[in-house]
Amino acid sequence: MARICPDDPNSFANTDVARTTHIDLHLQADFDQKILHGSVTLTVELARGADEVVLDSSFINVQGAAFVTADKRVPLEYELHERDAKFGSALAIKLPEGTADEDTTVLIRVEYATTDKCTAGQWLAPEQTVGGVHPYFFTQCQAIHARSLLPCQDTPSLKVTYSASITVAAPLRALMSALQEGESDVSEHGLRTFVFRQPTKIPCYLIAIAIGNLEGIEVGPRSTVYSEPEMVQAAAAEFSEVEKIIEVGEKLVMPYEWGRYDLLVLPSSFPYGGMENPCLTFVTPTLLAGDKSLVDVIVHEFAHSYAGNLVTSKNWQNFWLNEGWTVFLERKFIAELHGEPHRQFGAILGQRALREAISLYGEDHPFTCLWVKLDGEDPDDSFSSVPYEKGFSLLYYLEQLLGEEAFAMYTKAYFKNFAGKSIDTEEWKQFLFDFMDHYFGQEKIDLLKKVDWDAWLHQPGQPPVTNHYDETLARQCIDLADRWDAARSSEDALEEFSEGDIADFTSPQVVVFLEKLGAKDPFPHTHITKMDELYKLTDSHNGEIRLRWHTICLQASYKPIYPHVAQFLSEVGRMKYVRPLFRLLDKAEDGHDLAIETFAKLRKSYHPICATMVAKDLNVE
């Protein structure tokens, strides 16, 4: 196996002597063969003595490499190393002797095509789209899948600017995680080319492409919502207040760096709630609840404009710096938009998600540490609520310890200081100490010295300190769940409940009520039947409510829900819903065969990342 990157155990890139600073991508989409083909030109800074440039690649068909100058192209020798099952193949491009007798910058072009094993992209047949007429393609490069989209130094320790041209068959259009610079007329062959530029440095996992029958509706001075024409009106209505979110971010953190904040609502197989691709957030259609009740996912993705995109974790071992900070900012933004009780309410939900994630792994599992050791590990395997919610817990704890005013000052300084950089946990911690010392002196340093840093960062399991959150908005939900729990031993007690119990609940309050029920012992089937009769939970179109309701039913092996679960699994590809429901169906009485059959039927419709993870969950090949 090739040498591992000095800054990143999940990359082969030799960033100690060769660092990409700019990527220029020219690709054409071939929907018949389900490939992208063309070239990538890398601007690479070489340290003196460098004799090769090592790129990451995975299932890529390399057709040639060359030096590029203004007037010529000089072919280069290259070696594609044997494939590692988790990290792909190192692509070592040999440099002619004397190339780096001193520090220098070169342009290297790689001609290539993706293959049908590309894990970054999903090609959808027309029938898998909302419109049913045109095909669709989209990418999801986080964590280490950019290397299957283009040969690159696929490590967040390195950030690049990029330019691109994407050629597609009309009437399809291409969008990217960049500013659109223009588009060509349709050629005699029915093709048109879209041109993009990303002037702000990003890690390669934020390079994103979507191609489809796409329309956009402007919803703000710097925001357009894109989707297939059939749902663009609904999407624009759902996300009509995005400018308010941007303004809050600018008030609490710093000016918005990226120029545009557009949204793309993808087909249902998109595996995540959202992906913070710069200039163009990708979101799941499961957010289109019709009442803006799930728009907080957009607040989360927007918060990534600062945490993750502007200030980036140096590698996936420090992923909590991306996600913990993003959840912290998301909830601060929500407090500004809706009031502090809503931040506290979100934190209560998060606490439950963290408990579930730790329970799933086991208290002693290394993936429940905040800083995760990933030598030889696929970062996708460590993906859970832990970096999000344990990271939030630490930042909230520090905010309460140091005072909200001091922490708000520090937050602004942190993002200003590290903007455009990739950092690790030690750098984060050192800046916290330096800032508090400079502005507040020994008093705050003494407080920071009392923090059990090793327990927070490096010990598995629950956080060493349990934060206490205001239960004002959660109290009614908790009380109702407790009433159902107390009534479990008596069918007569069911008469105490009525449709009005949840009539005034918001959707998030219904979620908390169901969360609390799900944390209790499985309920008798009589009680589940009554609950559904009163609250019409099986009829809900809200994905968050459906997930929790199906969870309660499957925990009790309530068989009338099984076909509804299978139907839900056929409608969505979001891993937050798909993975736990497959696991629960698999464990439910007489549910195993249905879980296996349903997955076999749906596997090809899921995104490759989702399909791989569910296969692991169900122990199938």
* Cβ neighbours, 10 Å, residue 605: 18
77 tagged catalytic: no
Distance CA 11, CA 141 (A): 14
The label of the residue with tokens 């903007």 reads 419
Judge contact between 473 and 342, C-beta under 8 A.
yes
* Residue 22, marked binder: no
Is 574 annotated to bind ligand?
yes
Rounded to an integer, what distance in angstroms lies between the CA atom of residue 334 and that of residue 587? 37
55/78 Cα distance (integer angstroms): 11
Whether 304 has a binding-site annotation, put simply, is yes
Does the annotation flag 527 for ligand binding?
A: no
- Name the nearest CA neighbour of 394 among 352, 424, 425, 418: 425
Q: Six-digit token pair at 436? A: 């508090």
Q: Find the helix packing angle between 320-338 and 242-252, rounded to 10°.
A: 110
3-state SS class at 212: strand
Residue 271 among known ligand-binding residues:
yes
User: Strand 179-183 relative to strand 18-30: parallel, antiparallel, unpaired?
Assistant: unpaired
How far CA 280 is from CA of 179, 346, 469, in Å, comes to 9, 25, 34
- Check if 82 is active-site: no
Check the annotation: does 273 bind a ligand.
Answer: yes
Q: What are the distances in angstroms from CA 278 to CA 128, 140, 205?
A: 26, 13, 11
Nearest to residue 320, comparing CAs of 385, 380, 404?
385
64 is in an annotated binding site: no
Report whether 589 belongs to an annotated binding site.
no
Beta-sheet strands, E only, within 187-300:
191-202, 209-212, 215-220, 223-227, 262-265, 274-275, 280-283
- What interhelical angle do 575-587 and 562-571 show, nearest 10? 150
User: Is the previous residue joined to 171 through a cis bond, with omega within 30 degrees of 0?
Assistant: yes
Instruction: Report the Cα–Cα distance between both ends of the chain, in Å, rounded.
Output: 25
State how far the Cα of 279 lies from the Cα of 223, in Å rounded to an integer. Answer: 9
The reply, when asked if residue 613 is annotated as ligand binding, is: no
Rounded CA separation 39/112 (Å): 6
- Alpha-carbon distance of 567 to 381, in angstroms, equals 27
Report how far apart, in Å, the C-alpha atoms of 442 and of each of 427, 431, 446 are: 20, 15, 6
Asked if 481 and 513 count as a contact pair (C-beta separation under 8 A), the reply is yes
140 carries a ligand binding annotation: yes
The CA distance from 116 to 126, in Å, is 18
Other C-beta atoms closer than 10 Å to the C-beta of 229 total 11
- Active-site residue, from 52, 228, 238, 301: 301
Alpha-carbon distances of 318 from 145, 308, 311, 423, 491, rounded to whole Å: 18, 11, 12, 8, 51
Q: Where are the beta strands (DSSP E) in 247-349?
A: 262-265, 274-275, 280-283, 312-313
Strand extents, DSSP E, 148-205? 160-169, 173-176, 179-183, 191-202
Residue of 78, 136, 388, 535 with catalytic role: 388
Contact 388, 323 (CB under 8 A): yes
- Binding-site positions for Zn(2+): 300, 304, 323
- Binding-site positions for a peptide: 140-142, 271-276, 574-576
Please give the positions annotated as active site: 301, 388
- Binding-site positions: 140-142, 271-276, 300, 304, 323, 574-576
